[in-house]
Amino acid sequence: MSAEGLFWAPRAWVDGAWANAVLLRVDARGHWAQVSPDTPPPLSFADAQLLPGPVLPSLVNAHSHAFQRAFVGLAERRDSAQDDFWSWRDRMYRVALRITPAQLQAVATQLYAELLAGGYTQVCEFHYLHHAEDGKAYADEAAMSRALAAAAQTCGMGLTLLPVLYQRAGFKQPELRADQRRFAADVARVLRLRDAVRSWNLPNVSAGVAIHSLRAASAESVRDLVLQLRGDPGPLHIHIAEQTGEVSDCLAATGARPIEWLARELPLDARWQLVHATHATPEEIRAVAASGAGVVLCPGTEANLGDGLADLPRWLAAGVPLSLGSDSHVTRSWPEELRWLEYGQRLLLRQRNVAAAPGSRSDSRPDSRPGSEPGSEPASEPSTAARLFERMRAGGATAAGFAQWGLVVGARADLLVLDAAQSALCGLPPTHLLDGLVFGAPERPFSMVMVAGRWVDVANKPTPGFRAAMQALWPQPTA
């Protein structure tokens, strides 16, 4: 259904706080032309659509491997003495080696519909599944990229496609493993795929590039790619310091930790997005902060894979741009991801509301939380949910390649209508709705979702194509 261009919300999240009586106008490009709080409601529905609940900006999902949605629930058993990220990865390759473009499109269509229902309206697809099952290139080398773009167009999801540089199995393994044969992509291929996606001129579809990791690409290729990207405004993402084994291998091969090497050897800037950055030292955090690069946290997947916990207090205190990703998609809504992010810190530090920032921090009094630095963040925000939400909103914009994001003039006209009548939210003071959304765990919090001025379907039920793809990928035994 097409939006009419003018909307009125009883309450909306504007400039980092709840505002009352907000008039919202969408221009012909699907961007916000007007965001006006304290505006009386229009006299009739002919003038504007009156929205049935409080309105929030959506968030960007800054890290996705769409094909892994087909693997959710299939790695939650242990049949050996030890199970960790690396054994999970070997099992995950089973679906990576089998999924076809048509199946990928069906799985991604289901996933993107679920992400829309979970409050995301733009997804950054970290895309390394390029080739046919035998490892040979498709006649159309962008076949898998087209499948992802088609899925996004079907659902109305915004998409930032990030073709991935992927050349080797490890620091001391110069070739790919046989079960990584579908991932091979050198610098030239990555840039061709990026340019192909841009040439399609699809609505709400853009492209940047990615480097899988320092272990999966040589230093020479990484430097070459960075050189080729001079002057290009698109985002550049990389997996970094997700696992302690990766940190140890990088130290052995280069004499430096992964983030340390990256900050020392390459011209990091705001285009760079460091995915996970779980195992970072205070010195590395300061180096990232000085560069302007961002960090993408994926709490649900990091918990599922046993990655460890990022130093959230230091990342927040350093002012590093932060965003959220659902990665392997064991969780698919941003309120749940934020809840995981905060609860992990509470368990680690045995404190509550770790991410909150009560009182002014522009004075000289040191904050008591580990890693905080006085003066680095002047705003006071006692709400954990609000502080995390605002940081992810702002950081997600850069991660996806946008200059603006949220209920602000010039940004794309995306929004979420909150169902405040749900039992988890019912009766809460209006000022605490965001706290209840994140920590009260409502089942279906968003009644309506808009992307670029148009309403999208958030029914969130299995599609026939998804069911058929899953049955083909994981055939059931016959009776």
Residues marked active site are found at: 276, 327
- Tell me how far apart the alpha carbons of residues 123 and 381 are, in angstroms, rounded to a whole number: 27
* Three-state DSSP class for residue 85: helix
DSSP 122-168: EEEEEE---S-TTSPPPSSTTHHHHHHHHHHHHHT-EEEEEEEEB--
Amino acid letter for position 405:
W
DSSP 23-66: EEEE-TTSBEEEEESS-PPPSSTTT-EEPSS-EE--EEEEEE-G
Amino acid letter for position 98:
R
- Tell me how far apart the alpha carbons of residues 80 and 367 are, in angstroms, rounded to a whole number: 45
Amino acid letter for position 289:
A
- Tell me how far apart the alpha carbons of residues 452 and 164 are, in angstroms, rounded to a whole number: 27
- Which tokens is 116 given? 């829309």
Contacts of 235 (CB under 8 A, 6+ apart): 124, 160, 162, 208, 271, 272, 273, 398, 399, 400, 401
- Tell me how far apart the alpha carbons of residues 312 and 352 are, in angstroms, rounded to a whole number: 13
- Tell me how far apart the alpha carbons of residues 431 and 18 are, in angstroms, rounded to a whole number: 7
CB-CB neighbours of 355 under 10 Å: 21
CB-CB neighbours of 38 under 10 Å: 9
Q: How far is C-alpha 266 from the chain's CA centre?
A: 24
Contacts of 46 (CB under 8 A, 6+ apart): none
Residue/partner pairs of 435-442 with CB below 8 Å, 24 or more apart = 435/383, 435/384, 435/385, 435/386, 437/335, 437/385, 438/335, 438/338, 438/339, 438/342, 438/384, 438/385, 438/388, 438/389, 439/339, 439/384, 439/385, 441/335, 441/336, 441/339, 442/335
Q: Cα torsion at 23, 413, 315, 159 (round to 10°)? A: 170
Report whether 328 contacts 276 (CB < 8 A).
no
CB-CB neighbours of 336 under 10 Å: 18
